[in-house]
Chains A and B, each alone.
Chain A
Amino acid sequence: MRGMHKAFPGVKALDDVSLEVWPGEVVALVGENGAGKSTLIKILSGCHRADAGEIILDGRRLERFSPQQAQAMGISVIYQEFNLAPPLSVAENVFVGRQPRTPAGTIAFGRMRAATQAILDELRLPLDARRLVQTLSVAEQQMVEIAKAISFRARIIVMDEPTAALTERETATLFELVRRLKRQGVAVIYISHRLQEVFAVADRVVVLRDGRNAGSLPIAAATVEKVVRLMVGRELKEMYRKPAVPAGEPVLEVRGLSRAASRVRDVSLSVRAGEIVGLAGLVGAGRTEIARALFGVDRADAGTVRVAGREVTIRSPRDAIRAGLGFVPENRKEQGLFLMMAVRENVTAAGLDALSRWDFVRFAAERRLVGALIDQLRIRTPSQEQEVQYLSGGNQQKVVLARWLALRPRVLVLDEPTRGIDVGAKAEIYALMGELVRQGVGILMISSELPEILGMSDRVLVVRAGALAGELAREQASQEAIIRLATGGQ
């Protein structure tokens, strides 16, 4: 791919980006969110068309092509969301849309199964072609996607964040598979936020920044620091800048919070002013459920909540907000944002009460407030009126945060505040959290990233099976100690 250009409304997504891949090479494509990785891949796979630039495959210049044509030419993309039909078998999924036929015109199930099994065996995948996809684990489904790509005789396989939902062992299996593909002469473009993985599997690292090529390093010459520097275009100093704030009075006290329907059992915790309390635990341990019960999204069966010493009844998010709580949900696109509405409207979604008189919105005051928050949080947007769907992940997250900051809450509950956002935006969000605790806000932070928990928290609470398994002070907290509590191991 040479000199790719692509512009979207209000954003220049790609600006003269080139990418070269050789057979049998694993190229890692890294960059912050919004750097243009997805756009580049979508052009390669035929989903988008470039405004300028050319794609050359085996010396042949490709003109407009559809995703189907791309697949036929040997370019397969495995997206984070799989394109599989769960109720069908592995074989049917691999040959979807081009099932072999019997002379009578019906599907030749036997031949299809045999062909699929041959591919699976060739890749040494421990899968039975007859199994239904809905019975497979995420890792196994991914293998089906790869088998599907191979069945097209793919010569370039693009994997978009393939390990996002995999366990460590599954990741190792995937890497093994990638290496086997490589030996067969297949080129792999590997997109990931996790740099360790990149170093484990890639031959070369290509870094994109702000829609341009920021650099390309052979893996032997690359170090984490070098790659990060290329990604953000500046030296990253200490990521976690948690200011030492003397903790004040408790702003949030929870006693015996329970909710049978979401398996939350007798949770008691407190957060003091100027304190960041980390809520750690395995995925599915019930951390989000605790936050939701606390915030009134799901109504708790039992328990008392005191905010700044005053007991409050929380039966809906409305009550929680009135009491001085704020909640940044884990899935910002589905639970946090109004994607097709303007940045301004997104920021004031929870705070219009204070911005209206006789139910009439005071637009001037609204614009002033939003403008101030955009400056304060350094939200990068062409204007307040930009639809929030066109912002990058980090800026979208800042918009959700701005919504709560506008309300000046006493307690902020952050559920995975930096999920899926790039390094630079992460650092900015950590800095903002530091600023908030300095102002006396109490923060309860749920996170699956242990470095984040360890770096930012004053205290760590570990959740196991819907209940608190233990508490660790900042000095005691370590990855091992947290994992021991989270898994119940000794």
Chain B
Amino acid sequence: MTLPDAQPRQEGQAPAQPPQTAARAQPLSALSKQVLVVWLLASAALPLAILLPEPQLPASRLAGALLGAAACAAVGVAYARRLRPAWHLMQACMLAAIFLGAYWGNRWLFVGQSLLMIYLYFSLYTPEVRREFDIHAAPREVGVLLVLLGMCALLAIMRPRFLEGGNLLDLARQFSMVGIMAVGMTMVIILGGIDLSVGSVVALAGCLATLAMRHWDCSILSAVAIALATGALVGLFNGTLISRFRMAPFVITLGTMSMARSLAIVVTGAEQVTVKGCAAQPGLHAIAWEDTLGVPNAVWLMALCVLLGHVFLGYTRTGRHVYYVGANEEAARLSGLNVTALKWGVYTVCGVLAGLAGIVQASRVATGQPSAGMGDELRVIAAVIIGGASFTGGVGTVLGSLLGAAIMGVLRQGLILLGVEANWQQFVEGGVIIGAVALDMLRRRR
């Protein structure tokens, strides 16, 4: 899931050569001219798509017109040979158009812009064009984003329902659980480990929280705290064994996966925990089923986790230390990093996030179920690997994992929309996991 010549981790690099001065004299290459043609098409597609007969508000026409104008401006800027700013302006326009297309349910806009963008990156984003435009290699996540856009565009063409009636928000609600867990899993996998226990923690945390609501009639905040604490305890247990006693993460978390699942069944007596009539019931309901500013609360929760995770891994010292340990544990130790504490912390955070996902899950089904989250560990790991992380450690980003979670979500809903029998879903998901790992291998071999 990577671009032909994507070099990761290039962001923020100072431009290598002084722009335009030399380039201005030379004519553009054929490929760069193609890029400009795609731009022209993209900006022409904007007003056209907005005028097509699909339900819209007057305000949307105004937004569309502005966007079209901005795209035309980008072409103008490019004509004046200021290629770098033009490139960035155009990317922003196309992304905004794709987003608005999804938001308005305008599939012409959505599909058209997505396809143009995919074409732009996959066919034209060559070293030659990059040099002439004076732009850097795209971060690895762009490849994942394009795959996601391609899948969405395909579905939007085949099943118009895909974009309609807030379906996308519903989709986001569905994968928010996986998305939340993927943040913690990203850190674990960057660290070179794995956590198989998250699915069982979802069940255990959800069951303990709902039990507390029913038997002690506690508030929703206490219930959330109980769920998070449950996750933290399992994570601490994992982290302690893995970091202090240097046991293999795969074995330890396989063990806790089994233990946590069993505990969930024991505490509930293998029955659903209903929370009907409890004081906290409306609060629980609100997490997954109510919106704030038009977006489901669960999606806000996921966005918050992703944002915090992204900032942590990308911009803080401790986050960077996670990459160091994953890339080479021995070198990290010799560089004075506290490897034990880092592992401990990362597994704990992963557990806490699984606990949070447990509450979201309990809210979605309005009960505590000992069988909840079964198989989620695989879905989460798949999301992280699709998002560009590698089992060898040291590589991966939270944004990539979010996109990976979205791909898993779209895949799931897409299969339903396309009428694939439900029993085949896990088969396809398994195939995608294998495909993602195979891609990871190919990526490393290059």
Q: Which residues of A contact B (CB under 8 A)?
A: 9, 295, 297, 316-318, 320-322, 327, 329, 334-342, 345, 349-350, 352-353, 355-356, 359-361, 363, 367, 383-385, 403
Contact = CB atoms under 8 A, between A and B. Distances in A.
B327 A359 contact: no
Contact of B395 (A322, A340, A342, A349): A340
Given A9-B7, A340-B394, A385-B13, A350 B316 contact: no
A383 B136 CA distance: 13
A9 to B, nearest CB: 7
A317 B335 contact: yes
Contacts of B337: 318, 349
Contacts of B328: 334-335, 337-339
Q: What are the 6 closest A-B residue pairs judged by CB atoms, nearest first?
A: A338-B327, A350-B335, A321-B336, A356-B317, A318-B336, A349-B335
A334 B330 contact: yes
A337 B323 contact: no
Contacts of A363: 12
A427 to B, nearest CB: 26
Interface string B1-25: 0000001011011101000000000
B333 A361 contact: no
B331 A384 contact: no
B317 A342 contact: no
29 contacts: A316-B338, A317-B333, A318-B337, A321-B335, A321-B336, A322-B336, A329-B331, A329-B334, A334-B328, A334-B331, A336-B334, A337-B328, A338-B323, A338-B332, A339-B327, A340-B395, A341-B9, A341-B324, A341-B394, A345-B323, A349-B324, A349-B331, A352-B321, A359-B316, A359-B317, A360-B315, A361-B315, A367-B14, A384-B13
A384 B9 CA distance: 11
B289 to A, nearest CB: 36
Interface centre among B10, B331, B333 (most CB of A within 10 A): B331
A361 B316 contact: yes
Contact of B317 (A322, A329, A352): A352
Contact of A342 (B9, B14, B330, B334): B9
B318 interface: yes
Interface in B330-348: 330-338
B320 interface: yes
Contact of B335 (A322, A361, A367, A403): A403
Contacts of A320: 336
Contacts of A359: 316-318
Given A356-B316, A360-B316, A338 B331 contact: yes
Mostly, the A contact residues are: mixed
Given A335-B330, A337-B331, A338-B394, 20 more contacts: A297-B334, A320-B336, A321-B335, A334-B328, A335-B328, A336-B331, A338-B324, A338-B328, A339-B328, A341-B9, A341-B324, A341-B327, A345-B323, A350-B335, A352-B321, A360-B315, A360-B316, A361-B317, A385-B9, A385-B10
A222 B276 CA distance: 93
A317 B334 contact: yes
A342 B8 CA distance: 10
A345 B320 contact: yes
Given A336-B334, A339-B327, A340-B394, A361 B12 contact: no
Interface of B: 7, 9-10, 12-14, 16, 315-318, 320-321, 323-324, 327-328, 330-338, 394-395
A321 B338 CA distance: 12
B339 to A, nearest CB: 10
B330 A360 contact: no
Contacts, number: 85
B287 to A, nearest CB: 30
A383 B324 contact: no
Given A349-B324, A359-B316, A383 B16 contact: yes
A146 B333 CA distance: 39
Nearest to B314: A361
A353 B317 contact: yes
A297 B336 CA distance: 9
Given A9-B7, A335-B330, A350 B317 contact: no
B334 A327 contact: yes
A249 B333 CA distance: 30
B63 to A, nearest CB: 35
B334 to A, nearest CB: 5
Contacts of A350: 335-336
A322 B336 CA distance: 9
Contacts of B336: 316-318, 320-322, 350
A112 B15 CA distance: 62
Contacts of B334: 295, 297, 317, 327, 329, 335-336
A305 to B, nearest CB: 16
Given A383-B16, A385-B10, A297 B333 contact: yes
Nearest to A358: B316
A319 to B, nearest CB: 8
A299 to B, nearest CB: 12
A371 B332 CA distance: 22
Identify which of A322, A327, A340, A356 gathers the most chain B CB atoms within 10 Å of its CB. A340
Contacts of A335: 328, 330-331, 334
Contacts of B324: 338, 341, 345, 349
A401 to B, nearest CB: 13
B17 to A, nearest CB: 12
A181 B197 CA distance: 59
A392 to B, nearest CB: 19
A322 to B, nearest CB: 8
A317 B16 CA distance: 37
Nearest to A404: B335
A307 B320 CA distance: 29
Contacts of B395: 340
A446 to B, nearest CB: 15
A288 to B, nearest CB: 12
Contacts of B317: 352-353, 355-356, 359-361
A297 B333 CA distance: 8
Contacts of B331: 329, 334-338, 349
A342 B13 CA distance: 12
A340 B16 CA distance: 21
A349 B332 contact: yes
- Most chain B beta-carbon contacts within 10 A, residue among A297, A322, A339, A359: A359
A361 B13 contact: no
Contacts of A352: 317, 320-321
Contacts of A295: 334
A374 to B, nearest CB: 13
A353 B317 CA distance: 7
A383 B336 CA distance: 26
A318 B334 CA distance: 8
A419 to B, nearest CB: 16
Nearest to A388: B327
A295 B7 CA distance: 36
